Structure 1
Amino acid sequence: MRALIQRVSSARVTVDGGVTGEIGNGLLIFVCAMKGDSERESEWLARKITNLRIFRDDADRMNRSVVDVGGSALIVSQFTLAAETKGNRPGFSTAAPPEEGKRLYENFSANVTALGVTVANGVFGADMRVELANDGPVTIWLDTAAG
């Protein structure tokens, strides 16, 4: 699985003009299941992200996790993270098929919740509008294949 995470002071997703998910302080997580991914990758990625120390401590150093600061997570499915950009037109053949991608997206959200983070979601496969206030800015790319 791949994820792009952004530390945010706020973020929200709208679909057809209605808000489907919104958070204050926490993480905006774009996530993509890749062909061959399983619950194992979903669980690993959830643990990695929830334990990643990218929030400021009292000394203004990145030393706290989203759990430590009581932050939330807005999780958005993003199949374009699988983009192959060898040419000028991206290809997405390495992304998991939609039904598998949706299952792993939902599994990932459940795993993050089980690790003590309040989760809000986008809508899998929908045309979404994402608004965010990136804090820092802090943006980090993770890929379970890279370990």
Structure 2
Amino acid sequence: MSTEKFEDRKARIVLQQCLSARLQVQPKSDTEEAQFVEIGRGLIVYICFLKGSTSDTVSKMVKAALNTRLSANDEGKLVSILELPGDVLIVPQATLGGTLKGKLMQYHKNIDKEEGKKLYDEFVQSCNDIVKQNNPNVSVQSGTYGNRQVFRTDTNGPYTHMIEF
């Protein structure tokens, strides 16, 4: 049993396999339609950085997200998203850093917004590089850090897993 406390955690990811997903990355304005990114069969990665996160944390998160065997291939064997192969949608999710105090959620442990965006961009780029090296035909899409986003998914699970770092 781990003696590591929540205060020692640097980040959280939630992994969820999907049949498809769609995320709004830019809301509709007076002059433009809303913009969306979409993926087919693959993996949704919800990501939150806590205080103390570094590039080392990002490396561990990328390895876990891309190599954990969560998706069933055509034979029913659990494989990683790289082995499937499947698309990846990365969704910034600061609410994963919340803690309940009374009846309210507090986010005091979340990383500073500027540092979080830097690490988020690093995570997205690293995932994109690794996935494209493995299979240039799969898609890596990402949400907009720091904004609310409309989200829709179809899943055959939901097979949702949280990993802390």
The TM-score, its normalising length taken from structure 1, stands at 0.91
Query: Structure 2 stretches of 5 or more lacking a match?
Result: 1-10, 29-33, 133-138
Q: In 1, are the aligned partners of 2:131 and 2:140 still within 8 Å (CA)?
A: no
The two structures, once aligned, show a CA RMSD in angstroms of 1.4
Residues 20 and 121, structure 1, Cα contact 8 Å, conserved in 2: no
What do residues 119-145 of structure 1 show as CA deviations (whole Å, max 9, x unaligned)? Answer: 10111111200111122221010111x
* Equivalent residue runs for 1:29-108 within 5 Å: 29-61=45-77, 63-108=78-123
* Higher fraction of strand: 1
Residue correspondences, number: 143
Which residue among 120, 128, 131 is the counterpart of 2:152?
Answer: 131
Aligned-residue offset at 1:56: 1.1
What SS does structure 2 have at the residue aligned with 1:103? helix
Runs of 4+ in 1 over 3 A off after TM superposition: none
Partners of 2:21 and 2:75 in 1: how far apart? 26
Confirm or deny that 1:141 pairs with 2:162. Answer: yes
Quote the offset at 1:88 in angstroms.
Answer: 0.9
Matching residue of 2:5? none
Q: What is the CA–CA distance in structure 1 between the aligned matches of 2:150 and 2:104, rounded to whole Å?
A: 22
Give ranges in structure 1 of 5+ residues lacking alignment.
none
- Give CA-to-partner distance per residue, 1:15-61, whole Å, 9 cap, x none: 31423321001111110111000010111010111001111134424
